[in-house]
Amino acid sequence: MIEFFLNAYKNASTTQIVLEFAVFVFGILSVWFAKKENIWVYPTGLIATIITTYLLFVAGYLGDMMINGYFSIMSVYGWYKWARKENEADVVAISRTNTREKIIGIALFFVTILVVFGIYNFFDYEIKKDNYIDIFASGIFFTGMWYMALKKIENWTLWIFGDIIVTPIYAYRGLGMLSLQYLIFTILAISAYLEWRKILNKNNRR
């Protein structure tokens, strides 16, 4: 098991290992803060996505780099939404999606898939079977990020579904640290959904 996680880093530089570990730590912190409805979800998440964008640029994966840049922009949007206050109270509160938001979410899912597919084609990447799963998961994650920016509880349903999809994919690719990270994300997302549901039910009883 230990060999599985270390094999991918046999020829990696110290800088790469340190940066990937930073992505691992800040990514988990971001999900933890999201669970606690803490605005630090966004600064920690941005650190993770920006470092990932740099690592992908260095590795020459320009399509994946642009996808992570895309996620970073949504993180900035979410940070802005969560930071807004009115009479010292948060403007955005935990709630469920309405019909309009569900329709927008579905549209955003398909638009994201088309954009990511376009990025792969623009850089003339060979799209393998597992890449189609990547493209599908990108749509789930990006829609989840938008729902999180609005503090919609459905964001956790999407994160759980997406994390379950990509965890075995990263393991299959030999990316042990990423696979472990998304396994931890799955556990945290389930816990976060339960915690947000408790808060939502409590608020509804008021």
pLDDT, tens digit (0-9, with 9 covering 90-100), for 57-76: 877 666 667 777 888 888 89
Looking at every residue in the chain, the average pLDDT score rounds to: 86
- At 85 the three-state DSSP class reads strand
Task: Name which residue leads in pLDDT, 124 or 140.
Answer: 140
Percent of the chain with pLDDT over 90: 44
- The pTM of this model reads 0.86
Nearest to 184 by CA among 3, 26, 12: 26
Of the given ranges (14-28, 29-43, 80-94, 178-192), which has the lowest mean pLDDT? 80-94
Q: State residue 203's pLDDT score.
A: 77
CA distance 74 to 12: 30
In one-letter notation, the amino acid at residue 58 is V
Longest dimension (CA), the chain: 58
20: confidence class by pLDDT, cuts 50, 70, 90: confident
- Report yes or no: 143 and 105 within 8 Å, Cβ to Cβ: yes
Please state the φ and ψ torsions of residue 90, each to the nearest 5 degrees: -65, 135
Model confidence at 156: pLDDT above 90: yes
Model confidence at 1: pLDDT above 60: no
Q: What is the tally of structural domains in the chain? A: 1
CA distance 145 to 67: 13
Q: What is the dihedral of CA 133, 158, 145, 30, to 10 degrees?
A: -100
Q: State residue 105's pLDDT score.
A: 96
4: confidence class by pLDDT, cuts 50, 70, 90: low
Model confidence at 206: pLDDT above 70: no
The answer for 89, left when phi > 0, alpha when psi is -120 to 50, beta otherwise, is: beta
**What range does the domain containing 182 cover?**
1-88+96-204
* Helix boundaries (H) for the chain: 2-7, 14-35, 41-59, 62-83, 99-122, 129-149, 154-172, 176-204
Q: State residue 90's pLDDT score.
A: 73
> What sign has the CA pseudo-torsion 173, 179, 182, 183?
positive
Instruction: Specify burial of residue 44 (Cβ count, 10 A radius: 0-12, 13-18, 19+).
Output: buried
Q: What is the DSSP letter of 89?
A: E
Please state the φ and ψ torsions of residue 104, each to the nearest 5 degrees: -65, -40
Model confidence at 117: pLDDT above 60: yes
Q: State residue 67's pLDDT score.
A: 73
